Amino acid sequence: MNSPKIEEIEQNVHHILFDENKELYLIGTAHVSQNSVDLVERIITVKDPDTVAIELDKKRYSAITEKSRYENIDLIQMIKNRELFFFIGQFILSMYQKKISEKTGTKPGQEFLKAIELSDKLDKKLVLADRELGTTLKRAWRLTPFKHKMKLFGSLLFSSDDKIEENDIEELKKSNALDEMISMFANHLPDAKRVLIDERDAFLSFEILNNLGKTTVAVVGAGHVPGILKTLTAPVSKKQRTEIDIIPAGGIISKITPWIIPAIILTVFTLGFIFGKRDIAYEFALFWVLANGVLTAIGCLLALAHPLTIIAGFIAAPITSLNPTIGAGFVTAFVQTLLVKPRVKDFEQIQNGSLKIANWWKNRLTKIFLVFILSSIGSSIGTFVAAPYLVKFFNG
């Protein structure tokens, strides 16, 4: 296959001509720009493609097209499947887009909705070309060092958007501004950039190229355009596509480490009875229960959790801290969800961008997130506070 001919026919629109006279119009958009919506409508209407590809996966497609999607979210099942943390990540990313959309007056994803609407109206093949968001978030979590994870969440939660206007969004779609922004991202968060941008560039490119019609229009975020154009000259193989769609398993060290502290604690407690140090063993056991239980309960209290959730956290933490397969946060989040179920308006408050960080304690959905996070932190601190007490056993 010969290298395709690439030409930027206008700002944010590239025309790519392949063998057999197949052609692709690659549109780079800002997800909160009205200009992007208008551009998508004009290109699809004028070029009359037989195939339209968009930067969405099946779940996000459903999320922006189903009006009653909130009633279909099963938080209890999500907690059981340990998907709550990644659900939190999805909403944080959504909230970040909302911050910008408030300034531009356009809801995120409107250009995709326009592409979906036109493909349906004009009877075009629709291709959902993006990798599943859950896979992206889980890969980012597994492959990003802890300090970089905190940087990423901090920047998304607390970044200032007071001076963002639509003109700024349009400026960011220019290649030189995009290159500079992506370069800065790569310098500060190289692992996150590789998963969130580079891998998705490769995934999008593979899906678009393997679903080309005679004439195809692909609608993607402007930040993905440079990466997609690069892969056109060296196409992504099926093997590479499969590799970046797999959630990596933790290494042997990461699997063993969570069991080390519980093993030491149980060993010390057992030895205390065997060697006649029962008083120290009982004292340590009591301190372990109080340190884990009290600090987890304080975490729940800081989240303004239901009183029964606080009690559940106190009871569960000493046990879950000795069982790496389940954390205190999952127990407290589960109990909080059962006792104070989120309402549709709680989801909508986040979805429409009206929720501020200061109001997380009032929204039932984000309160569950806070219960999960703060109780988990409390339990972790409790473990490390109690661990030094082991020294007393060995010096006794």
Residue 101: predicted pLDDT: 47
Which one of 190, 210, 243 terminates a domain?
A: 243
Q: Is residue 283 domain-shared with residue 324, that is, in the same domain? A: yes
Mean pLDDT of 233-253: 82
Residue 267: predicted pLDDT: 75
Which one of 189, 211, 243 terminates a domain?
A: 243
Residue 370, phi then psi, degrees to nearest 5: -65, -40
What are the angstrom distances between the C-alpha of 211 and each of 214, 308, 325? 10, 53, 41
Q: Is residue 25 domain-shared with residue 152, that is, in the same domain? A: yes
Q: Is residue 183 domain-shared with residue 59, that is, in the same domain? A: yes
Q: Cβ distance 36 to 58 under 8 Å?
A: no
Q: Is residue 166 domain-shared with residue 116, that is, in the same domain? A: yes
Residue 105: predicted pLDDT: 47
Confidence of residue 233 (pLDDT cuts 50, 70, 90): confident
Residue 6: predicted pLDDT: 92
Confidence of residue 336 (pLDDT cuts 50, 70, 90): very high
Q: Cβ distance 219 to 54 under 8 Å?
A: yes
pLDDT tens readout for residues 75-130 = 777 777 666 666 666 666 665 555 544 444 445 578 999 999 999 999 999 999 99
Residue 40: predicted pLDDT: 95
229 compared with 165, residue with greater pLDDT: 229
- The amino acid that residue 82 corresponds to is R
Q: Is residue 18 domain-shared with residue 106, that is, in the same domain? A: yes
Domain hosting 175: range is 5-243
Q: Is residue 204 domain-shared with residue 314, that is, in the same domain? A: no
Q: Looking at the predicted structure, is the pLDDT value of residue 8 above 70?
A: yes
Which one of 213, 243, 273 terminates a domain?
A: 243
If one counts the domains in the chain, the total is 2
360 compared with 309, residue with greater pLDDT: 309
Q: Is residue 67 domain-shared with residue 30, that is, in the same domain? A: yes
Mean pLDDT of 148-157: 60
Rounded to two decimals, the pTM is 0.66
Residue 285: predicted pLDDT: 78
pLDDT tens readout for residues 153-163 = 665 555 544 44
Q: Is residue 234 domain-shared with residue 289, that is, in the same domain? A: no
Q: Is residue 86 domain-shared with residue 131, that is, in the same domain? A: yes
Q: How far apart are CA 126 and CA 118, in angstroms?
A: 10
